Structure 1
Amino acid sequence: MLSTQMPLCSDVDVASLAEMTTGYVGADLTALCREAALQAILHTSQDAGSHLIRMSNFLEALKKVHPSCLRSSIGQTDFRPVAWEHIGGLEDVKLKLKQSIEWPMKFPEAFIRLGLSRPKGVLLYGPPGCAKTTLVKAAATSCHCSFLSVSGADLFSPYVGDSEKTLAQVFQQARACAPSVLFLDEIDSILGSRADSKASRGVQDRVLSVILNELDGIGLKVTERRGPASKKCLQEGLPEQQECDRQLDYQEVCNKDVLVVAATNRPDLLDDALLRPGRFDKIVYVPPPDQEARLAILKICTEKMPLDSDVSLEDVAEKTSFFSGADLENLCKEWKRYLLMNSALPFRLVLTVNGKHAMTSGVCKNHRKLAQLIVDM
């Protein structure tokens, strides 16, 4: 309706735009069309072309116009869309995330036909720097759903009860803009385990109780109200057991498309109540990249780098055992910095110098024993 009076180019896919604008209300869509028109005017004034609104103008407008339900939201985060192809390796992990996150949102009819319920929560665990957060962003990008991210810094407050209230508000906003993915980063620092009885764990215990209730009761909202008849009964001193005393309204909220995804480096610190089926139904281990995955990551990181003809990325991938994806990305950045300071040197010398430093990185080495311990459990 909004686009009928707009001069649209043939490449504008309205159905695709409708899929990308999850959580947008009518006023948000009006602002989006207005911003796309402004982008078209800006580009046509530079190119001196016809005044047609292209799909690229809508994509630029989507970066500036956000759903009103997420404005001033605690979990709202701006992230650049991530494609699955931008993540090297981890093919098994990608498939598991697609089955748990993407397929239930894209093919709900198939799940209903098979009587298969979608998971309420997905837990990713593994060494730091192995693309756990990036994988969740890629899943949210492929689903075209809203993405909310919460960490311990967003939740904890010096005021009593404020952390629990904040977490409940985040879940409420996730329901308001469904389908959505609610990402709890470093969940072990937010919750921990109730088995570790410490005096300072009071807030964490209350936050854990809130998230357990939200995971169990997701989709059901209970509103309590008192009508005029109830107020009259109270003024006359009638018994509270009478019908006019209290009215409970149970409202089913359409939030079946809310999925909670958490990431942690220490799954052994989490409470057992979180890990049972019905809460975090799917637990996925994100391993350090193997040699083939390291080669794929290096190819992505060096895509725009001026490599010398004698540089062998296969050799680098072989020498960087126990490197995480973040380590490999940082290694490529170090190469670029070294070239910037020593532009006269050939790139193969840079590779040799940094190759010695590459052998010393073993951040993933200590996590493999922990991962095997979790798998055995």
Structure 2
Amino acid sequence: MSDFREALKTIQPSSVRSGVGLADFRPVAWDQIGGLEDVKLKLKQSIEWPIKFPEAFVRMGLARPKGILLYGPSGCAKTTLVKAAATSCHCSFLSVSGADLFSPYVGDSEKILSQVFRQARANAPAIVFLDEIDSILGSRSVSKTGRGVQERVLSVLLNELDGVGLKLTERRGNKAELENDSREQTENDRELEFQEVFNKDVVVVAATNRPDMLDDALLRPGRFDKIIYIPPPDRKGKFSILKICTEKIPVDPDVSLEDIAARANLFSGADLENLCKEAALLALQENKVEATPVKQKHFEKSLEIVKPSLTNEELEFYEKMFRNRE
């Protein structure tokens, strides 16, 4: 058995060789993401539960969303949340960006996107992650250049979203079954067919910080029918993020992370991580040979150096859009 385990480390499945978009990343647990408890629950319900408990969804007559759109300010863990969902489901992760898709050859971008979905179906269960989808696809209502490559890629994505979860090949049967089409299906046959139709185990997740740039056809039910707002961390979430970021940093017991979280106004999760790194560097500057613990004064100085990336106008824009969708 040990020989087989070693062989699994070296033999690569043929379905992932030269695969477009297939990505490997360090596993991310849900508890490694501070705050955002409501968002985590929504993602578990939309991605994790249908893959882990498909029978329960069939029994309740529920269908999982075909596409999930995460929108919100930059640096608020949209990509990390998707990686955590892929880790918890133990599924394949295909990440696609504009650099992966766009090609100088006519028709090549559409072909690459179709290949991504073929790879996802071959390696199901799988998550297809479209990062910065606003840079990949534009809105046809604001396009002034006619039918460009973005419009053709959008058309391919819409067709794939309509096809994911549907039976792609006809069911094969013996000659007697094919000749006797009028024969009434048994209960097991109907249940099996429903499972084949429902349980394709491919979910499309997209992230953007410009949801106003997306085409309306993407946001209708049946495509990206689950739209989730990823807000900046609140005070409790900031404290949780600071605790996670300082787990591997020697912090003086007198440091008050709650006070730092209260003073970190308009800080995103990425800003808070940068804040902790800057404080550790300041402590290292004092004694490069023997690193001293990070003290409160280092965090105070770090708050003066590191500036927040969010603005009140930006948050008002997202809050207004979030209210309009409720």
1:125 and 2:71 are equivalent in the alignment: yes
Q: Which residue of 1 aligns with 2:313?
A: 366
- TM-score, normalised via structure 2 length: 0.85
Rounded to whole Å, the distance in 1 between the matches of 2:204 and 2:38 is 20
Q: Which residue of 2 aligns with 1:338?
A: 282
Rounded to whole Å, the distance in 1 between the matches of 2:199 and 2:157 is 16
User: 1:165 is aligned with what amino acid?
Assistant: K
CA RMSD after TM alignment: 2.1
SS across alignment from 1:277: coil
Q: Which residue of 2 aligns with 1:353?
A: 301
User: 2:226 is aligned with what amino acid?
Assistant: K
Rounded to whole Å, the distance in 2 between the matches of 1:69 and 1:253 is 22
Contact 2:70 2:228 in 1 (8 A): yes
Unaligned runs of 5+ in 1: 8-29, 37-60, 224-251
CA distance 1:65–1:149, change in 2 (3 Å): farther
Rounded to whole Å, the distance in 1 between the matches of 2:80 and 2:50 is 20
Q: Which residue of 1 aligns with 2:267?
A: 323
User: 1:354 is aligned with what amino acid?
Assistant: S
Contact 2:246 2:276 in 1 (8 A): yes
Q: Which residue of 2 aligns with 1:233?
A: none
What is the CA deviation profile of residues 251-309 of structure 1, one whole-angstrom value per residue up to 9, with x for unaligned ones? Answer: x7886100000000010110000001100111000000001000000000001211122
Q: Which residue of 2 aligns with 1:281?
A: 225
Rounded to whole Å, the distance in 2 between the matches of 1:98 and 1:255 is 17
Q: CA deviation at 1:337?
A: 1.8
Rounded to whole Å, the distance in 1 between the matches of 2:276 and 2:313 is 24
CA distance 1:107–1:308, change in 2 (3 Å): same
Rounded to whole Å, the distance in 2 between the matches of 1:133 and 1:343 is 36
User: 1:88 is aligned with what amino acid?
Assistant: G
1:299 and 2:243 are equivalent in the alignment: yes
Contact 1:187 1:262 in 2 (8 A): yes
User: 1:216 is aligned with what amino acid?
Assistant: D
Rounded to whole Å, the distance in 1 between the matches of 2:32 and 2:130 is 22
Q: CA deviation at 1:66?
A: 4.9
Contact 2:20 2:119 in 1 (8 A): no
1:162 and 2:108 are equivalent in the alignment: yes
Q: CA deviation at 1:356?
A: 2.0
What is the CA deviation profile of residues 66-101 of structure 1, one whole-angstrom value per residue up to 9, with x for unaligned ones? Answer: 543122212011200000010000000000000000
User: 2:238 is aligned with what amino acid?
Assistant: R
Contact 1:126 1:367 in 2 (8 A): no
Unaligned runs of 5+ in 2: 171-195
SS across alignment from 1:141: helix
1:269 and 2:213 are equivalent in the alignment: yes
**43, 53, 57: which one aligns with 1:97:** 43
Q: Which residue of 1 aligns with 2:93?
A: 147
Contact 2:254 2:295 in 1 (8 A): no
CA distance 1:364–1:99, change in 2 (3 Å): farther
1:375 and 2:322 are equivalent in the alignment: yes
CA distance 1:297–1:200, change in 2 (3 Å): farther
Number of aligned residue pairs: 294
Q: Which residue of 2 aligns with 1:83?
A: 29
Q: CA deviation at 1:131?
A: 0.3
What is the CA deviation profile of residues 155-198 of structure 1, one whole-angstrom value per residue up to 9, with x for unaligned ones? Answer: 00011000000000000000000111000000000002001122
Greater displacement, 157-166 / 252-261: 252-261
Contact 2:268 2:308 in 1 (8 A): no
Identity of aligned residues (%): 64
Q: Which has the higher contact order (CA 8 A, sep 6+)?
A: 2
- TM-score, normalised via structure 1 length: 0.74
Q: Which residue of 1 aligns with 2:257?
A: 313
**175, 189, 192: which one aligns with 2:138:** 192
Contact 2:51 2:125 in 1 (8 A): yes
Rounded to whole Å, the distance in 2 between the matches of 1:197 and 1:369 is 26
CA distance 1:129–1:194, change in 2 (3 Å): same
SS across alignment from 1:199: coil
Q: CA deviation at 1:361?
A: 1.4
Contact 2:134 2:211 in 1 (8 A): yes
SS across alignment from 1:111: helix
